[in-house]
């Protein structure tokens, strides 16, 4: 009985922290608002669904809670890409959640023992998305121009990695028929610690963490002379030198070309040019140049791949994704639409 009371306390702490997190996200603006709300509610469903006592106590609502918990890792992935990569919430970023939810539904409707195999696959896919989310956090670390977000990445990686490993091990073991009484107790307290840490981070985080489009925070004439010179040189390098055409250009290489340390260049680009990450800053120039080439009838024989390589993209895939994020259409669709509109111009 004491163990059960302790477990219920842990789940109560987790649910309370998640409710606070949801309230915090509800007050935010930007792409991560909806992602944060969906993640908080899905994780509350998981906290209830993973306890036989709680799921039995809610009676008819148990089916709704059970269903809502299936795709939680997909919503964790959504939260990561919206917070750390400023990606919008749309059908593409929602697809992991949708897929995991549908697979979970199939697992519920499939009779045992076949259902066990489906749940093992479900858990492995969850682990894959969780680790990909952590890879996203690490991959864009250096190019992050929002200082509060850069400082968050290290602690976030450590806490979430430990939790994901613990949770995945428990769920896969249970799918294989291995269960120990202490699994649920440790899982409940791990969830509580994870949720409290998440609430502390997201409730105290500065607004710029949440994907709100930056605006210049101070006029350029308010900068010291050194920063003004650096911004002028940066503009020259980007506009006249077209340094953005270099494949694999990093903020370190650009800082060296400008003649300032990375830690000075980041806030200059973020605060005064309005970009939250380095890839977006570079790709903005590339996409504008791509539009010119795609509209030019004299370049009609130039393939989209050739344009991508010429503008500094290492392959066609990243170019297509960046172009569609900026324009809502693919480069091919853009070329077709502009060529059809040309006679009427």
Concatenated DSSP letters of 55-118? HHHTGGGHHHHHHHHTTHHHHHHHHHHHHHS----SHHHHHHHHHHHHHHHHHHHSPTTHHHHH
Q: Encode pLDDT of 320-342 as tens digits.
A: 989 998 898 999 999 998 877 65
pTM over 0.85: no
Residue 300 main-chain phi, psi, to 5 deg: -60, -30
Is the domain spanning 2-210 CATH 1.20.1070.10? The answer is yes
Interval 95-99 mean pLDDT: 96
Interval 63-71 mean pLDDT: 91
What single DSSP character describes residue 277? Answer: B
Query: At 41, which helix (H) or strand (E)?
Result: helix 32-49
Is the domain spanning 220-344 CATH 1.10.10.60? The answer is yes
Q: Give residue 222's pLDDT band: very low, low, confident or very high (50, 70, 90).
A: low
- Using CA atoms, how far apart are residues 208 and 214, in angstroms rounded to an integer? 8
Residue ranges, CATH 1.20.1070.10, the chain = 2-210
Residue ranges, CATH 1.10.10.60, the chain = 220-344
- Using CA atoms, how far apart are residues 14 and 280, in angstroms rounded to an integer? 36
């Amino acid at each position: 009985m004491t163990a059960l009371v302790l477990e219920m306390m842990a789940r109560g702490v987790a649910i309370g922290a998640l409710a606070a997190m949801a309230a915090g996200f509800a007050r935010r603006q930007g792409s991560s608002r909806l992602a944060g709300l969906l993640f908080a509610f899905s994780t509350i469903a998981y906290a209830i669904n993973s306890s036989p006592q709680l799921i039995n106590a809610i009676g008819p609502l148990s089916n709704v809670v059970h269903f809502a918990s299936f795709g939680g890792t997909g919503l964790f992935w959504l939260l990561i890409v919206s917070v750390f990569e400023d990606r919008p919430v749309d059908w593409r970023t929602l697809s992991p959640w949708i897929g995991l939810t549908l697979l979970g539904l199939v697992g519920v409707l499939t009779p045992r023992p076949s259902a066990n195999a489906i749940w093992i696959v479900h858990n492995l896919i969850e682990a894959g998305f969780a680790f990909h989310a952590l890879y996203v956090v690490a991959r864009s670390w250096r190019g992050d121009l929002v200082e509060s977000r850069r400082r968050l990445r290290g602690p976030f990686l450590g806490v979430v990695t430990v939790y994901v490993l613990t949770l995945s091990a428990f769920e896969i073991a249970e799918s294989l028929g291995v269960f120990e009484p202490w699994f649920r107790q440790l899982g409940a307290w791990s969830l509580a610690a994870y949720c409290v840490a998440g609430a502390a981070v997201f409730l105290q985080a500065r607004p710029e963490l949440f994907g709100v489009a930056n605006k210049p925070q101070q006029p350029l004439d308010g900068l010291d002379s050194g920063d003004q010179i650096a911004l002028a040189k940066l503009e020259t390098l980007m506009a006249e030198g077209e340094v953005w055409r270099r494949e694999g250009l990093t903020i370190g290489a650009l800082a060296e070309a400008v003649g300032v340390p990375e830690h000075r260049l980041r806030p200059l680009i973020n605060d005064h040019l309005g970009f939250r990450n380095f890839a977006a800053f570079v790709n903005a120039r590339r996409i504008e140049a791509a539009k010119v080439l795609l509209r030019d009838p004299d370049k009609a024989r130039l393939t989209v791949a050739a344009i991508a390589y010429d503008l500094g993209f290492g392959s066609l895939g990243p170019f297509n994704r960046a172009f569609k994020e900026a324009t809502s259409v693919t480069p091919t669709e853009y070329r077709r639409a502009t060529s059809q509109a040309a006679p009427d111009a």
